Structure 1
Amino acid sequence: MLTWLLKLSWPALRHQAGRQLLALLAICLGVALSFAVHLLNSSALDEFGRASASLNGQPDLVLRAADGGGLPESLFARVAQDPAISLAAPVIEGQAQLRDAKGQPFNLRLIGWDALAAAVMNPQLLPNSGAKTSGGLTALIDPQQVWLNAAALQRLAPAARERGQALTLRAASADNGQALSLDLNLAGSVSAPGSPLAVMDIAAAQLLLSRLGRIDRIDLRLHNTGISPQAWLAQQSWPAGISAAPPPDEGARLSELTRAYRVNLSVLSLMALFTGSLLLFSVMSLSVAQRLPQWALLGVLGMTARERATMLLSEALLLGLIGSALGLLLGWGMAQLGLQVLGSQLGLSRSHATLAFEQLPWGAAAAFGALGVLVSLLSAALPALELRRLPVAQVLKGLGSQSALGLPAWLGPSLLTLGLGLAMLPPLPRSSGWAEVPLGAYAAMLSLLLGGIACVPQLLRLSMRALAHWPGASRSALLLLVRERARDQAGEASRALAGVLVSLSLSVSMLVMVGSFRLSLDDWLSRMLPADLYVRASLATGLDGQTAPLPTEFVEAVSASGLSEHLQPQRSDRIQLQGNSERFALMARRIDEARLPLQGDLARPEPQGTGKLGKIAEQDLTPIYISEALRDTLALRPGQRLMLLQPGGLNENAAASTPGAEQKPGLPAYVRGVWRDYARQSGAVLMPLDAYQRWRGDTRITELLIWLPEGQTAGPAIRRLRAIAAQPQDIEIAESADLREMSMKIFDRSFAVTVWLQAVTLAIGLFGIAAAQSAQMLARKREFGLLLHLGFCRADVLRLLLLEAGLLCAVGALAGLSLGLGLSAVLVWVLNPQSFHWSMDMHIPVARLAALAGAMWLAGVAAAWLAGRRAASDAAVHAVKEDW
């Protein structure tokens, strides 16, 4: 049966090849974009997971110092003698610098290990199997040798990549942040993927990082004697501040951190498929309209209503299968191109990467292919249902078809109201794991889109009532015909406008959201970067990329040089909050509340109450300013009292689970206000520098903000600053204008994919307009022939069509603008704050929106005029004669 229907469908598909090609293009692009985005996201996560696994190895447990200060080597000797331990491997971790092919320093991760003890757990840190290593096993423990991975080798000059070449590694001392250097020989390469990496013997790493007598972690593997890691931990009695836990799943952590971005990008890519479904719906409606006499003749010859509907669905199935297959191939190619162009931005190990065919996720490919087929069948469902209700005798007599299904008047306003209600739903609780995925906002946007489509008939009737009061409307035959048709065929108008309404509203919403975000970011940069120059150390300490403190002598020399009109020091660090184990970014500086991008009002401390913090007087509390992400993550509120812990300070849970652990002295504080932080998606704290220095007893700073005297340019000042520095290569100096320009470039690059997706959606919507207008014109061919017989000339018919199209497209453009503004409000005020914890000020670019709506209106009118010229030709007269 299906084979017979497909044989009948194929001539129709071939006869309408041009329009069917549009439908194939819509399905193909929708599937391709969705599949490509999925491949890019999954590839980045897989690559990061493989890189983390290669660096962390496969231990059962990892011992660390909770304060980040390192473990004593004596602890390693004690643990290694435990009879339950089969392997114990000490590891040093840090950051170092090398010079690239252009002589510029670049940072790379540094791992110092005992290769003889840890090779089983970290095989990817061993030299590549194809590389010849002089010295055999002794080279692995030679403190003069260093191995680099592929990402690090690519950054070096070609001559420096040869085995035996001398390399100078620089790093910041763990004690005072001073720059240290070590001359080593390149022994070869390791296969560890990911970002640039250097591997060396643990003794050399301890010397370079000034950690003699200390190690960062101990990787443990237990004997297979039936004892579990938890049971072994319960038997131990560690000194204070030691944490023991299984190795963290960095891939899962990155997946959690990037979930909101990946989901939003995937939903945006699916919008192209949704818009394509409307184009396919228009093509199917056009196919039915063109072949009404043939459908009716088939019905008279014995084809049942069910068989007619099945035949149309078989056409949609064939289009869906071909379009999905082409879309999967195109998506694979787009993902390959994306990895070549955007590989480094996706966190891949190489600047250029490819996906091997064996890496193709067949399950995901089948899912996206099935989605394309499903969308194709759903797009043809309504035309197929109308085809089942086709009055064949009436159509054969030339009386047309009245089988169109109308929507109830209450449906549109109800869906719009439902969308508003869904947008107001709070985010999911953090315990669900989907707190940063605003499902309510997505449901609200879908409800608003469907509600806007359902409201088109009512909007068209309202516009007709307004047209009735136009001067001379009652005496114009053309306006009378326009009014009567709009009143009787308002349901068909909603189908014709579905594509333009959805594509225009989505384009408007993205345009407003991205523009609002960009202007808010520009304002934020002007507030957060008020100085002329910014100075910091180029070296980093720790694996979190924390900037090393500036040399005290350099800071004092800059202050005494008279170079600046005003100088402001800043300290960047990490802190914890009592009751939470996460570490958050901290910036300590002089606070100017007038310049802070605050959200909401400033607050005083909450009244004193019970508990330790509640008994502290207000003057003894330090005011802090938290980012929106920290407020949402920990459910904090302005005025709330809380305790700041020194970096690595144990929280209550860790202290309870670690015998002998004690809390380090904390700083009682209260939330003075909430500020926007576009630089970090995780939480951040801003506090006064003097309060930080009194609390920590550390007067070192990590950044200098310099205001130059009036009339002085940045170039000479930068040269003087480098001359003051004892090691100019360890100092980074940037102008505020350069930082702003770089930030805006990063923003534009990050949102470039949304611009392309928006363009594809808009293009599909324009194709939908043309297809819908063609369907309307072909279905009305006999109507135009009758008007010509009654005395209308061809120019009168074209004027009628232009009036109808102009009115219809104007309603669609205004509805699309209004609906797009509603969607943009959901994006700006609901989706972005819930997904990324970033609020922004809504900005409406009136001129660009007017141009966009005008272009859509012109496209719709032009499509109607081109289709009307053909429909109002002499063939329309012959179509009427066929009924005589």
Structure 2
Amino acid sequence: MLTLWRHLTWPAWRDQPGRVILAIVAVMLGVALAYGVHLLNGAALTEFARAARGINGQPDVIVRAATGSLTDADYAELLNRPEVVAANPVIEVQALWPGQPGPEWRGVYIRLIGLDPLALLAAANADRPLAPELTPQVDGDGDNRLPGDNLVHLNAAARARLPANATMLKLRVLRPGHTEPDDIELTIGGRIAAGSAPLGVLDIADAQVLFGRLGSLDRIDVQLAPGTDATAWAKTLPERWRAAPPEDEGARLSDLTRAYRVNLGLLALMALFTGSFLVYAVLSLATAQRLPQWALVGVLGVSARMRWRLILMEGLVIGVAGTLLGLVMGLGLAAGALKLMGSDLGLHGASGASTELLLNQPLLWPTLAYAALGLAAALVAAVAPALTVRRIAPALVLKGLGLPAGRTLPAWVGLALLALGAALAGLPPVLQDTPVGAYLAMLCLLAGGLALVPALVRGLTAMLARLPASALLLLARERSRDQATEARRSLAGVLVALALAVAMTVMIGSFRNSLERWLDQALPADLYVRSALRNAGGADITPAPLLPTLIERLAHLPEVARSAPQLTTRLRLAPGSEAVALTARELGTGTLPLVERWDGAVVTDATAVWVNEAGRDRDGLQPGHVFTAQLVSSGRDVKLQVRGVWRDYSRQNTALWMDLPDYRRLSGDTTITELALWLQPGATTDAARKALRALAGDDVETAASGELRTLSLKIFDRSFAITVWLQAVALAVGLFGVIASQSAQALARKREFGLLRHLGLSRRDLTRLLLIEAGLTGGAGALAGLGLGLGLSVVLVYVVNPQSFHWSMELSLPGMRLAALVGLAFAAAVGASLLAGRRALGGDAVRAVREDA
């Protein structure tokens, strides 16, 4: 078998290396993109988990207060429990690092963690470290004493912002119960390894004094005696404590980014999917060129089964070469993308991620899985050419009767697949917001569209009968009708790639247009102001309130026409649950981007709230729903009724809106955290900011609506940049596939062209014939791709995005981009046919007829 393969295949590969290389490149690109995206996803999760372990440490149980804060008495009570081996009390504060003189320096935030260094040392000496990355590093650089006496140990991100030869760190914090911020001064100590953002560690006693938290703790990290079940032990604690094994921050962020990563991974597999069609086209071309050889070896005794195996071996060799190169290229692409975008795939613009993250994840099974996918794609692509060679009648082929006729699927099969796709699109998501039904629906729509291509070609061919009769039109009509099934095969790659490209173009365009309209509604004011300080609390860090005197003075600035206050706080939907965002503002100052309203009965003793789509879908907060929640600021239970659902592109988790007077009535809290300002006609944003700076200095942050809009769109474009590139690669692979397929068909028709030349048709006539045929098949492929793409875009816009991200949007059709995509696919099909036809119309065509005679 190997000898036959070497004699039949190697000469053809040696004479036509370009097509073989093209097939290998198609598999390589598909495997590289899919494998590279998987590595990027794994790197993101590894970085999330590593950062969480560095800051949260490695305790067995984390204890927090069910409401409010823990106390020193709680700490003492925990230490007296026999199961507790070590316990570390923790306070977390986000302090403002004011700006220094210089055009490039702006105020930044630094996270400060107060802990018990002796508890850390005791755990480390017992070979069960609590927080190794928060322990000062003894490297001879800086003061490596244990935290104490207002000594702070900084990580690399904080040290990079220090002025040269700095020994003191001046920060600004807001102590509980205070309205004015306080300046604190810390002595710079040694280094710590944790965190990629500015972070400092100091002694818990110093932290309690400096931050006004005497006797107060945010959490206690606990290590238990060996053999103690952490979950069971946590259930024995008093109800005033909320205890659980340390939250897997990597898993939590994995949940938040799962939809983005799954969609990105499936889009990467699209390149491999379309690449398999290119392999099919190349092998079909090789089959057409060597058909007489296959017929000859068949006459000489090579069985149909052996011919089948030889073609599959060609696909296997292409698959092995492309897969190995693709795995290496995928690792390189992932490393480059990690340096360019960071470990969050461009979602938040992180940078400085180490390429070591790629190797700090399980690689064996993913590598084997993507290798198997690459080999499977090449082998599946080789099945159809192998069947063709297996089905040939060698004697008839030697007489010049060509390839056997293709099998045509009934049109009802395509229609049934389209109907099944529409039904699957209505299924709810499974596996934590994964729209499996929608993905299956898209696959059924693609398969149904492919099955209907022959019917579409025949329909376009029937239109030729209305044109004035001529020999060329008659030949083109009969040829297109007889070879309609072959058109489906030759156009399969570009049709799939075009349909997916159209769908992604429409989805991204619709999303961006909806985002722009949402920003217009969500940012009605000219300028937004909030405190640069944060409340001193680790559990729920929220913006500190603006000073009442500052609010009054800001509202009366000459540049300000009017202002609207707003408060950002937290709310628990159930006792002990994680708090969700609550925004309170005067609803008359702007319109909420509502997608649903409650027009039913209003419960008089329930306060109106509006929830985002994530709250409706994940927590069941449907319009009209009445529920009891707890305000974090006051600890009061309040009765609420959902009066509507609003569109929220800034979150994937639950958030609520409430009218500011209602919130003040329920909570007694009269503070304000943000202020929206409308400027006087003619007043500039720069002038207003200068006036704000003169009043408040670094204690406030400002943002113009135009800047927020630009930043939001920039983040959007960066998030979808990799999607656009994957889409372009898949489309390019599909276009190469149609070029190779058309070449295969043209070369298989050499005898036909020679016969037509003998009958009196000129090369120009045959070129016109090819142009007409290519126009029919290319037009069918372009129309089918456009129609399928629009159908897929409906699934993406109305099913995948709402189920995956809980974001709804309006469908928008970017006409110019769609016309460009369709025109490119049509031009590729027609151009490929003409280029291949020029080779087939040479002297070899006439000679082939003479040899056959």
TM-score (norm 2): 0.95
Of 497, 505, 516, 2:499 maps to 505
In structure 2, C-alpha distance between the alignment counterparts of 1:439 and 1:181, rounded to whole Å: 54
Q: 1:467: which partner in 2?
A: 464
In structure 2, C-alpha distance between the alignment counterparts of 1:34 and 1:454, rounded to whole Å: 27
Alpha-carbon contact 2:63-2:221 (below 8 Å) kept: yes
Shift of 1:155: 3.9
Measured at CA, do residues 882 and 234 of structure 1 come closer, stay the same or move farther in structure 2, by a change above 3 Å? closer
Q: 1:655: which partner in 2?
A: none
Alpha-carbon contact 2:461-2:776 (below 8 Å) kept: no
Q: 1:88: which partner in 2?
A: 87
Deviations 1:619-678 (A, max 9, x none): 3321111100100001222111112311289xxxxxxxxxxxxxx432212111111000
Q: Which SS does the other structure have where 2:604 is aligned?
A: helix
Shift of 1:178: 4.2
Deviations 1:179-203 (A, max 9, x none): 3332122212112244332111112
Pairing 1:220-235 to 2, within 5 Å after superposition: 220-224=222-226, 226-235=227-236
Q: 2:47: which partner in 1?
A: 47
In structure 2, C-alpha distance between the alignment counterparts of 1:143 and 1:552, rounded to whole Å: 35
Residue 140 (str. 1) matches residue 142 (str. 2): no
Worse-superposed segment, 546-555 or 748-757: 546-555
Q: 1:363: which partner in 2?
A: 365
Q: Which SS does the other structure have where 2:770 is aligned?
A: helix
Shift of 1:754: 0.8
Alpha-carbon contact 1:536-1:550 (below 8 Å) kept: yes
Measured at CA, do residues 70 and 3 of structure 1 come closer, stay the same or move farther in structure 2, by a change above 3 Å? farther
Measured at CA, do residues 442 and 237 of structure 1 come closer, stay the same or move farther in structure 2, by a change above 3 Å? closer
Worse-superposed segment, 518-527 or 397-406: 397-406
Deviations 1:194-242 (A, max 9, x none): 4332111112322343212211111122233x5433554455445xx32
Residue 376 (str. 1) matches residue 378 (str. 2): yes
In structure 1, C-alpha distance between the alignment counterparts of 2:488 and 2:237, rounded to whole Å: 72
Shift of 1:768: 1.1
Alpha-carbon contact 2:629-2:639 (below 8 Å) kept: yes
Gaps of 5+ in 2: 124-129
Q: Which SS does the other structure have where 2:355 is aligned?
A: coil
Q: 1:521: which partner in 2?
A: 515
Measured at CA, do residues 304 and 593 of structure 1 come closer, stay the same or move farther in structure 2, by a change above 3 Å? farther
Of 875, 878, 881, 2:844 maps to 875
Q: 2:801: which partner in 1?
A: 832
In structure 1, C-alpha distance between the alignment counterparts of 2:659 and 2:281, rounded to whole Å: 62
Measured at CA, do residues 865 and 256 of structure 1 come closer, stay the same or move farther in structure 2, by a change above 3 Å? same
Residue 452 (str. 1) matches residue 449 (str. 2): yes
- RMSD value, Cα: 2.1
Pairing 1:621-700 to 2, within 5 Å after superposition: 621-647=606-632, 664-700=635-671
Q: Which SS does the other structure have where 1:293 is aligned?
A: helix
Pairing 1:375-454 to 2, within 5 Å after superposition: 375-428=377-430, 434-454=431-451
Shift of 1:98: 3.0
Pairing 1:326-337 to 2, within 5 Å after superposition: 326-337=325-336
Shift of 1:770: 0.8
Pairing 1:771-850 to 2, within 5 Å after superposition: 771-850=740-819
Worse-superposed segment, 593-602 or 679-688: 593-602
Shift of 1:427: 2.0
Q: 1:609: which partner in 2?
A: none
Q: 1:553: which partner in 2?
A: 549
Shift of 1:303: 1.2
Measured at CA, do residues 236 and 876 of structure 1 come closer, stay the same or move farther in structure 2, by a change above 3 Å? closer
Shift of 1:723: 1.4
Identity rate, percent:
50
Worse-superposed segment, 555-564 or 735-744: 555-564
In structure 2, C-alpha distance between the alignment counterparts of 1:52 and 1:533, rounded to whole Å: 35
Pairing 1:142-541 to 2, within 5 Å after superposition: 142-157=148-163, 159=164, 165-176=167-178, 178-224=180-226, 226-237=227-238, 241-343=240-342, 345-346=344-345, 351-355=352-356, 359=360, 361-428=363-430, 434-470=431-467, 472=468, 475-541=469-535
In structure 2, C-alpha distance between the alignment counterparts of 1:648 and 1:16, rounded to whole Å: 74
Q: Which letter maps to 1:87?
A: A
Measured at CA, do residues 446 and 480 of structure 1 come closer, stay the same or move farther in structure 2, by a change above 3 Å? same
Q: Which letter maps to 2:355?
A: T
Q: 1:742: which partner in 2?
A: 711
In structure 1, C-alpha distance between the alignment counterparts of 2:372 and 2:398, rounded to whole Å: 38
Q: Which letter maps to 1:684?
A: A
In structure 1, C-alpha distance between the alignment counterparts of 2:523 and 2:141, rounded to whole Å: 51
Alpha-carbon contact 1:2-1:314 (below 8 Å) kept: no
Q: Which letter maps to 2:720?
A: F
Worse-superposed segment, 373-382 or 113-122: 113-122
Q: 2:126: which partner in 1?
A: none
Q: Which SS does the other structure have where 2:587 is aligned?
A: coil
Worse-superposed segment, 75-84 or 873-882: 75-84
TM-score (norm 1): 0.91
Q: 1:658: which partner in 2?
A: none
Deviations 1:125-183 (A, max 9, x none): 1122434564x6xx2132321112223333445x25xxx62212333334346433321
Q: 2:567: which partner in 1?
A: 571
Measured at CA, do residues 574 and 235 of structure 1 come closer, stay the same or move farther in structure 2, by a change above 3 Å? closer
Alpha-carbon contact 2:98-2:698 (below 8 Å) kept: no
Deviations 1:451-488 (A, max 9, x none): 11111001111112222123x1xx21111111111111
Alpha-carbon contact 1:602-1:672 (below 8 Å) kept: yes
Worse-superposed segment, 858-867 or 268-277: 858-867
Measured at CA, do residues 860 and 588 of structure 1 come closer, stay the same or move farther in structure 2, by a change above 3 Å? same
Q: Which SS does the other structure have where 2:524 is aligned?
A: coil
Worse-superposed segment, 314-323 or 347-356: 347-356
Shift of 1:122: 1.1
Alpha-carbon contact 2:94-2:534 (below 8 Å) kept: yes
Q: Which SS does the other structure have where 1:192 is aligned?
A: coil
In structure 2, C-alpha distance between the alignment counterparts of 1:880 and 1:293, rounded to whole Å: 14
In structure 2, C-alpha distance between the alignment counterparts of 1:580 and 1:71, rounded to whole Å: 14
Q: Which letter maps to 1:322?
A: A
Worse-superposed segment, 71-80 or 24-33: 71-80
Shift of 1:425: 1.2
Q: Which SS does the other structure have where 1:302 is aligned?
A: coil
Shift of 1:357: 7.8
Of 95, 102, 105, 1:103 maps to 105
In structure 2, C-alpha distance between the alignment counterparts of 1:154 and 1:405, rounded to whole Å: 68
Worse-superposed segment, 361-370 or 508-517: 361-370
Q: 1:659: which partner in 2?
A: none
Alpha-carbon contact 2:349-2:715 (below 8 Å) kept: no
Shift of 1:413: 1.2
Shift of 1:46: 0.7
Deviations 1:34-55 (A, max 9, x none): 1111111101111111121122
Shift of 1:317: 0.6
Measured at CA, do residues 878 and 232 of structure 1 come closer, stay the same or move farther in structure 2, by a change above 3 Å? closer
In structure 1, C-alpha distance between the alignment counterparts of 2:291 and 2:140, rounded to whole Å: 73
Shift of 1:549: 1.5
